[in-house]
Structure 1
Amino acid sequence: MKRYIKLITFGFVAMGIIFSCKKVENGFLSNQIRYRDSPIKIQKGITVQTKPVDNDGSSAPVTYELLDIRDAVTKKHAELLYTNYERYIFISQFDVNRDTTVELLNKHRQLLNAPPVEFNTHTGAFTFYGTTANVAVGTYEFDIRATNENGSKDFKNIGQFSLYDGPVAEQSAGGGAWFKDGSSASGDIGEPEVKIKKTSNEGTLIILKIVDKNGTPFNPKKNEFIKRGDRNSFDTFARFHPLVLTDSTMACNFEVVPFPLVAGPPGQGYTIYYRIPGNFAKLDPGLTPTPDRGYSINPRFTFRIYQEGTYEVTVRIKNATRDVL
């Protein structure tokens, strides 16, 4: 009997040794890794960072590799998302109130030639940069590979993102007034019409033109419109370069988006104010108490640019005619 018990005990011990030699699976790598917010909406021309991938409880650490991005319709490799474009990256903290010259700005940034999208191998998140302005609108699909101590798994068509054209600028309500020379009398003339046109993805340039109701430009070089005391002007927001004047325009190289970068004094914000003396323009009949030219025209307008590029901004005073005395 004792011998029988010993044999049974030995059998259990042997089985334990056999099972203990069986290879144990290292960690866990889910088959359900996914992007919860797919399809991801991405506005072209601005910096956007997406949410990390959901690893569905996979054993950390998990690393990710972007295998391919394709046009979701044609299934062709999205070459433009892999093409290098020049863009700046900040390498140290930039102080908007102190670093107000190009020389100071350049101490904090570095020119990079790189694709418009970056993939984070630790989180599976994407960062889209302003150079996506060069990529076609559309929906794109992508594949990734996930790897941990368990091994690697490929996830084809794991998610999609859609590139769309959003607003390149924001406009707020403006206004206008006449003021009678030598008195405190004034009246309303309505807000000017402001049109913003992006002409190129290249550069960081705004070309501002102030025109009369017929589209005839006022000449900034001849002071046909002037600053209004301590109010903001276009020059107020030209932080890194002086304005370049022509007979019809003022150009500002703004270097860094958004423009304006910093608001003006309280109560003025991003609004730009100008005065057109009465000897350079006349208002439509009936807007002023008398028909003489002793009235200045005072437009104000507000806009903000959010993408790099070259822009034409035209401010049209709808009820005035340029007429130089």
Structure 2
Amino acid sequence: IAPGTVTISATSEGRTGALVLTVQPPAPASVVVTPGSLSLLVGGSAALSASVRDAGGNTLPGERVTWTTSNPAVVTAQQNGTITATGTGVATISATAGGRTGSAVITVQNAPVASVSLNFSGINLLVGDVRLLVATARDAAGNVLTGRPVAWNTSNSTVVNGQVFGDTAIITGVSTGSATVTATVEGRSASVLVVVAPAGPVSVCTLIAGALLFGDDGQYLGRFTNRFDSQSVLNEFGTYGSRFSSTSTNNEFGTYGSNFSSLSAWNPFASRPPLIVRNGQFVAYYTVNTARTPRVSPAVALSCNFP
């Protein structure tokens, strides 16, 4: 009836025989994990339980259970059966006792996007001005969701255009008018109306037509001429206009076009942006960094029709 050692004696007419009997606990035959399957959102947690049973299906109390996970990048497990979802995917949580193992399959998904917001409710720009738009996605509880792909769109690229870097868009007022810029994350959207006013009587395109572009490190980066000129910064197939050339300001992964390089035209915090030079004289910085003046935004220059 219980584990232990006893002596069983039989006595007859003064004579006794004895047997030493050892009773062992029943061996675990199975481990049942409850629930056997579960769906969680990233960041969520749950408590699993394990029932250790003998061959007859009886519960064996007091058995030590060890918990493990097949993929800690998806679900982590504590030794009290508590699990936490750490990333999307599927993981198996196992409970082992007495050489027997039971398991549960856990599926983890991202929390759905409930809302998207932008850091501006309305924007007024002059031609050539730049703003940084940041999209923030949140779940139903208001928690910020990171790492979600953001799709950006402008209703009129001839008025407002720019470059996109994940949840951030660097927008530039290209010409007078208005346009709506929209950020969409998993079907949820937020929009902002951008109104662009004239910058002044002197046309930026006229000011820089024929000018040369140099990196702050002295690297020649092309010239502001028509799209058929092999040296034009507008020639998408040329050395200085291609998205793939190392000396192009249009290469978002290159030194002069990256969002992070200090020499880049597209880094809003660049300390050493490219310089526009005409007839041997400095004209303006070629940059989206509003702290550098005078300056010409790349989005404006790329919209020009140079001779």
Asked whether the two chains share a fold, i.e. TM above 0.5, the reply is no
- Rg larger in 1 or in 2? 2
Normalised TM-score (structure 1): 0.31
Task: Compare the two structures and name the one with the higher strand fraction.
Answer: 2
